[in-house]
Structure 1
């Protein structure tokens, strides 16, 4: 598994917008929690996934549209082998003009700064779906003037979001505090990724931030929507998925490598999160993994 930074900056072939199709994320695989300064739109075409955006979490299915707001920690995990979705990432500079005007100050800057926060999940909205499909069609066909058409559709898309799907509007002070907390806790996320196989104490994490344990736990849950224990276990289960699919380690060895003291606790937690035992999960995915490894070696 390749580690990714929590701050995500994907270099685009286009300078103004980034659109790509993902259909290689199988059941149990995921994008790690990360954040970026772009407004990011997911359009789900097939399959089922679990998505976390900020403090919200939900299952998404075909036809759903999800929005990861600027500077919002988010995470996606596939719940099926046929997951297929488009991602649209919009560069702030694409929306801004060289000369600052009232519209930029009143609407675009607050969206980019995540002071205007949109609802994360949009279902059964034909207008939103039409904007998304028009953007994808223009980007795919690239006929003359397609950039202008995409920009027009994005502006209309944002207007519709502002009128129908705003979740919250933060003050400048609230925004600064939220972004500061996210950036400050990045070292904690890195520490958990590095030491997931070891015993990680709340005191160790709190000391890393020069905070009391109580203050650390409260702030951590405000940022991630999870208790520290649940977050750490989520990282460990993610690692377990890799070991189950890619190695021949037995269940005890996997549990120990992923930081679980007890094979029984590991099994209970795995089944609670994935509705399947780790043994059965390995059995269902072993054949597919063996074929994939064989093809890669040929």
Structure 2
């Protein structure tokens, strides 16, 4: 089966302050399944349309939208167009520290690297930001003499633009610690669902993994992900089934069972509710 999912672990080919990866997708489908990571990351949508979910909020992004995934934000990306070009941008903030600690580092860079500053997730129609990002991309891929300096200067410009216009929240250290402890409990739940979606999953088991009562777990899960635990599980299963319908020779009943649905009729109903097309129609389109 073809695997078009975007990966982070193959981007360490250069010792630069920034790493950029260009990805192109010609058909709709999942690009990143739900997950989170420690470092802040950015996506630039150069062409096409995608749905991006950050924690409980969902955004549809298109040409020239800039997306910010803050540290520890549960996120998911799906292409919803026939052509999509995305740039994944990773910035190592420690590379722009000065050798001597100064007020700039104390005021801005250290809080950023410690994830105390939370930015808005989507930036649109900001010409200054677009010029900055496009120059970064140009310098990164053309690599003319001095491109490292040019990129570093654009990283500073980007940070200033975000700090001046797109701060959503500033945490103190105590707030951040509480948030991290809560998210770690739910990371274990998300990992369990991802690894066991083919099996029966009950809420009692998930609430025990998180260490909460069932009712409290359900409330917190919806607060963090934007959907109930059952909807989250079904959404994951439907997305896995979507890929199998496009890329495998399995019949619909086999796909339903392999994705954790014991009833193929129920699977077909849930699939159509999510994707606005029946599994049979999806299968025929993929032949």
TM-score for the superposition, normalised by structure 1: 0.87
Q: Aligned pair count?
A: 283
CA shift, 1:247, in A, is 2.3
Cα 1:109/1:268, change in 2 over 3 Å: farther
* 1:53 match: 54
Distance 1:204 1:8, change over 3 A: farther
Instruction: Report how far residue 10 of structure 1 moved.
Output: 5.0
Could you tell me which residue of structure 1 aligns to residue 150 of structure 2? 149
Give the distance between the partners of 2:48 and 2:263, measured in 1 at CA: 33
Name segments (4+ residues, structure 1) moved above 3 Å: 7-11
Q: Which moved more, 1:109-118 or 1:141-150?
A: 109-118
Secondary structure of 2:29 counterpart: coil
- Cα deviation for residue 25 of structure 1 reads 6.5
Contact 1:49–1:80 (Cα < 8 Å) also in 2? yes
Given the superposition, is the C-alpha separation of residues 37 and 190 from structure 1 closer, same or farther in structure 2, using an over 3 Å criterion? Answer: closer
Quick check: 2:19–2:91 contact (8 Å CA) kept in 1? yes
SS of equivalent residue, structure 1 residue 26: coil
Aligned partner of 2:196 in structure 1 is 195
Q: Pairwise CA RMSD of aligned residues?
A: 2.1
* Matching residue of 2:271: 270
2:71 corresponds to? 70
Superposed displacement of residue 11, structure 1: 4.2
The 8 Å contact of residues 237 and 270 in structure 1, kept in 2 or not, is answered as yes
The change in CA–CA distance for 1:194 and 1:2 in structure 2 (over 3 A counts) is farther
Determine if contact 2:40/2:71 at 8 Å carries over to the other structure: yes
Per-residue deviation, 1:14: 1.8
Deviations 1:127-156 (A, max 9, x none): 111100111111112112211111111111
Stretches of structure 2 lacking an aligned partner (at least 5 in a row): none
Query: Structure 1 residue 2: deviation in Å?
Result: 9.7
> Equivalent residue for 1:293?
none
Listed one character per residue, the Cα deviations across residues 44-65 of structure 1 (whole Å, up to 9, x for unaligned) are: 1112111012332111111111
Provide, for residues 209-251 of structure 1, a one-character-per-residue CA deviation record: whole Å limited to 9, x for no partner.
3321122222222332221111111210121012212223222
Distance 1:147 1:37 in 2: 25
What secondary structure is seen at the aligned counterpart in 2 of 1:29? strand
Cα shift readout 1:166-207 (whole Å, capped 9, x = no counterpart): 122222222112222222322212211122122111101111
Partner of 1:21: 22
Partner of 1:292: none
Quick check: 1:20–1:88 contact (8 Å CA) kept in 2?
yes
Mapped to 2, the partners of 1:31 and 1:106 lie a distance apart of 33
CA contact (8 A) 1:71 1:113 kept: no
Q: Deviations over 1:18-50 (max 9, x none)?
A: 101001473122212222232211111112111
Q: Secondary structure at the residue paired with 1:160?
A: helix
Residue 52 of structure 1 contacts residue 58 of structure 1 at CA under 8 Å; is this kept in 2? yes
Tell me the residue number matched to 2:159: 158
| 8 Å contact kept, 1:8–1:36 | no
Aligned pair in 2 of structure 1 residues 79, 118: CA closer, same or farther (>3 Å)? same
Q: Which runs of 5+ in 1 are unaligned?
A: 287-298
Change (3 A) 1:261 1:219: same
